[in-house]
Amino acid sequence: MKQPTLTILFLFFSLFLFSQSPFNSSDLNVTKGDLETNIYPNDTTANALMLYEYGKSYVNKNTYKLNTEITKKLKILNKEGFDNATVTIHLYNDKSNKEDVKSIQATVYNLENGKVTKVKLKNSEVFRETYDEHNTLVKFTFPNIKEGSVITYSYTLISPYMFKYKSWEFQGDIPKLYSEYETSIPGNWEYNIKLVGTQKLVKNDSHIEPNCLSGAGGAYSGCAVSTYAMENIPAFVEEDYMTTKENYLARIDYELKTFKGFDGTVNNYTKSWKTVDHELKTDKDIGRQFLKNTGLNDEMEALLSGSDSPLDKAQLIYKYVQENYRWNKEYNLFKDVSVKDLIKNKTGCVSEINILLHNLLNEQGIDVKPVLLSTRGNGFVTTIYPVLSDFNYLIVQVNIGSESFLLDATDEFLDFGEIPFKCLNRDGRLLDFDKGSEWIEISPRKNSVIVQSLDLKLDTHNVLSGNINLRSTGYHALPNKKKFHSNRDDYYDSYFKKFEDIEIINHEVTTQNKSDYEFLENLEISYPLNESGNKIYINPFLLKFFSQNPFKLQERNYPIDFGFNDSFMYKLQIQVADDLDILEIPENFTISLPNNTGTLIFNSKKEDNNVMLYLKFDFKESIYGPEYYKSLKIFFGKIVDIQHNSLIVLEKKS
C-alpha cells in the first residue's frame, strides 16, 4: 500500500512546485511574484521577459474593418532591458485609407519598500510622428522604469486592409512565457494560413461561430474562430550562417486567397502559376522587355567573330555585358524596367542588365530563360502558391548541351556560371512563357575552396623563412578579388598589418583577371623565433581559417545556412636545421559530422629533420538542420583549438 501513496505524494509535490512558479503567465494581473523575481532561470542572459501576451482579431460588424486587440505584460529584468519600455506601433496609410489605433492603456508596476506601486501612462505621453508618406509611428515610453518593473499595456489596431489579415509573432528578441492569438475570419474571406518557425503550438483550436457578420438584404456569414498559443518561447538570437531571421521567427501569416461578396461576386487573389505566367508574359516591365531587339548586331558580329561553339559565344556575351554595363544598385523587378534605357545610359537595375543578357543570348540562338528569386536578406519564397511580392531579383539560366549555368551580369567579379552569394536562397522560378514556369534549385555549380601551402626552413639562427602559396576559389575568392582590384596598395598593406612579427619580403598576386574563378597569391616571409630555455616553440598555423568558434548558443532552433559547399586545406613543411632536435609535434586527429556530412583530418609527422603537417576539413552540405548544431559547434571548436594550440617543440642539440 505504500507505493501508491508515495506516487500520489510525488505528483502532488510536483504540482505544488509548478504552482509556485514565481511569474503569472495566465493573464494580465500583476502579482507580487512578477515583481519580486528578477531572473529568468531558463535564460539567465535575458534582459526582459514577456510574461503574457494576447491578441484577438475580428471584423467589426458595423465598419467591416479589421480590429485587433493587443494586450501584453512584460517584466524588466535589468537596466539592459529598459529599451523594452518604449513601445512603437506602426500605422500604414494610402491615398484612400489608413490604419488607426485607439484605447491605448499602459501601466508600470514597481515594488517599493515592500509595497506595490503603479503609475498609469498619460494621454499626453503618447506621440505620433510621420515616418514617410505611407507610414506613421505611434510611440510611448513608460515612466518610472526600474530594474524589476512590470509593465502592462493594451490597444486596439483598426485596419481597412482585409487583404492582409493581421499576422502574429509568437517569437521575438526576448523570451516569452505565454503568447496567444485568437482570430475570427468571416466566410467571405478565405486566406492561405502559414505557420513559420520550429516552435510548437500548445493550443490549436477552431470552431464555427454562426451569423457573425451580416450584409444587405438579410445576407449573413459565419466565422471560423481559431485560437493559437505557444508557451516557454525562447528569444530569437541571431548568429552567423543564417538568412534573414524572418524566415525562422515563430509566427502565423495570412495571404488573402478569395473574397466572396454578399452579392455573389467572387474575387480570386491567389492565382495559379499558369495565370501568373500569362500576366508576366504580357507585362511591360517583364515579359515585353524579353521581346525587345537589342540593336547591337554590329557589336555582336565583331565580338563573336571566329567563335563557333555556343559555350564560347555565351561566355563572350556574358563578359561583354559585365564589362560594358554598370549596376546602379537598384533591383526594380516589376517596375520601371527598360532595356532601351540601359543600352542608352550604360547603367541600370538588376532586371535591365540581366534581361539585356538574356536577349543578346537569345538572339544568338542560345537556350536561355529568366529566373525569378528572392535574395537571402529578403526571405524565402512561398512555393505552394504564387506570391509575386516574395520575389525581388532576376537572373538567367543558360542551357548548353547537358549543362545548365546560372548567370548574373551585374557583378564584374563573377565568373561565368557564378551568381552573387545573396542569391543563394534555395528556390527560383524558371520562367518559360511557352511551356510554363517551374521551380529550380538555386545552388552553385562548384565547391569553394581555400588552400594554404607553406614551404619553410628553420635555420641555425632560429629564423623561419620560405614561401606561402594561397589559393581561394568561388565565394572564398570573391572578397579577395574585390579588395585587391579596388585598391592594390591597401590590399598588400593589410598583410603587413596581419603579420605583426613576420616580415613579408615579397607579396605577389598572380591572378590578374577580375572574374577568374580562383585567386592566387604568393608570399615570401621571414620570421625570427624566440628561444626559451634552449627550446623553440612554434605554432605551425601562421595563417588561421577561423579566429574563434562562430557558434556560441546553447542550442539553435533554425538551420545553419552556409549558402554553399566548401573545403579548407592547410599544408606545411618545415625543413629544420641540423643543430636542432624535433622533440614534439601535434597529435593526429580525425572527426566527422553526422551522416558523413563533413570531415576534419589533422595529421603531422617528422621525417629526418623535416616536419610535415596537414589539416583538411570540409562541409558537404550547404545547409544543415538545427539538429546538427551541437555537432557543428564541436567541429568548429576543434578547428579553432587545432589552429591556436598546436605546437612544434624543438631543442638545440648539445
User: With contact defined as beta carbons under 8 Å apart, do 481 and 514 qualify?
Assistant: yes
Establish if 125 belongs to a structural domain: yes
Question: Does one domain contain both 76 and 201?
Answer: yes
Q: How far apart are CA 143 and CA 120, in angstroms?
A: 8
Q: How far apart are CA 229 and CA 80, in angstroms?
A: 28
Categorise residue 282: left if φ over 0, alpha if ψ from -120 to 50, beta otherwise: alpha
Question: Does one domain contain both 140 and 207?
Answer: yes
Establish if 128 belongs to a structural domain: yes
Question: Does one domain contain both 143 and 188?
Answer: yes
Question: Does one domain contain both 30 and 148?
Answer: yes
Question: Does one domain contain both 201 and 145?
Answer: yes
**Residue 626 sits in which domain range?**
448-652
Q: What is the pLDDT, as a whole number, of residue 531?
A: 87
Q: What is the pLDDT, as a whole number, of residue 498?
A: 81
Q: What DSSP designation does 338 have?
A: -
Q: Is 22 helix (H, G, I), strand (E, B) or coil?
A: coil
Question: Does one domain contain both 465 and 567?
Answer: yes
Q: How far apart are CA 499 and CA 198, in angstroms?
A: 44
Chain centroid, CA 289 distance in Å = 32
CB burial of 541-558 (b: ≥16 within 10 Å; e: otherwise) equals bbeebeeebebeeeebbb
Chain centroid, CA 593 distance in Å = 23
Establish if 294 belongs to a structural domain: yes
- Name, in order, each residue with C-beta under 8 angstroms of 287's C-beta and a sequence gap of 6 or more: 280, 281, 433
- Complete DSSP assignment for 438-461: EEEEE--SS-EEEEEEEEEEE-TT
Which residue, 384, 409, 442, sits at the end of a domain?
Answer: 442
Q: What is the pLDDT, as a whole number, of residue 20?
A: 55
For the beta carbon of residue 478, count every other beta carbon within 10 angstroms.
Answer: 21
Length of the chain: 654
Question: Does one domain contain both 599 and 476?
Answer: yes
Establish if 1 belongs to a structural domain: no
pLDDT digits (tens, 9 = 90+) for 385-420: 999 999 999 999 999 999 999 999 999 999 999 999
Residue 476's nearest CA partner among 513, 441, 450, 505 is: 450
Establish if 644 belongs to a structural domain: yes
Q: What DSSP designation does 331 have?
A: -
What is the domain-level CATH number for residue 318? Answer: 3.10.620.30
Question: Does one domain contain both 551 and 522?
Answer: yes
Question: Does one domain contain both 313 and 420?
Answer: yes
Question: Does one domain contain both 479 and 520?
Answer: yes
Low-confidence ranges of the chain (pLDDT < 50): 1-19
Question: Does one domain contain both 434 and 472?
Answer: no
User: With contact defined as beta carbons under 8 Å apart, do 108 and 75 qualify?
Assistant: no
Query: Integer distance in angstroms from the first to the last C-alpha of the chain?
Result: 81
- Name, in order, each residue with C-beta under 8 angstroms of 587's C-beta and a sequence gap of 6 or more: 604
Phi, psi of 273 (to 5 degrees): -65, -30
Give kind and range of the element (H or E) at residue 74.
Answer: strand 66-76
Establish if 400 belongs to a structural domain: yes
Work out the angle at residue 379's Cα, subtended by the Cα atoms of residues 277 and 83, and round it to the nearest 5 degrees: 145
* Structural domains counted in the chain: 3
What is the domain-level CATH number for residue 484? Answer: 2.60.120.1130
Per-residue cell: 407: 548567370
User: With contact defined as beta carbons under 8 Å apart, do 84 and 76 qualify?
Assistant: yes
User: With contact defined as beta carbons under 8 Å apart, do 165 and 56 qualify?
Assistant: no
Which residue, 408, 442, 476, sits at the end of a domain?
Answer: 442
What pTM, to 2 d.p., does this model score?
0.89
Q: Is 318 helix (H, G, I), strand (E, B) or coil?
A: helix
Q: How far apart are CA 287 and CA 289, in angstroms?
A: 5
Establish if 488 belongs to a structural domain: yes
Which residue type sits at 190? E
Instruction: Provide the H-helix boundaries in 539-602.
Output: none
Per-residue cell: 459: 635555420
Per-residue cell: 461: 639562427
Q: What is the pLDDT, as a whole number, of residue 14?
A: 40
Give kind and range of the element (H or E) at residue 44.
Answer: none
Q: What is the pLDDT, as a whole number, of residue 19?
A: 44
| Three state DSSP letters for 612-644 | EEEEEEEECCCEECHHHHHHHHHHHHHHHHHHH
Per-residue cell: 287: 515579359
Establish if 478 belongs to a structural domain: yes
Which residue, 442, 460, 484, sits at the end of a domain?
Answer: 442
Question: Does one domain contain both 433 and 454?
Answer: no
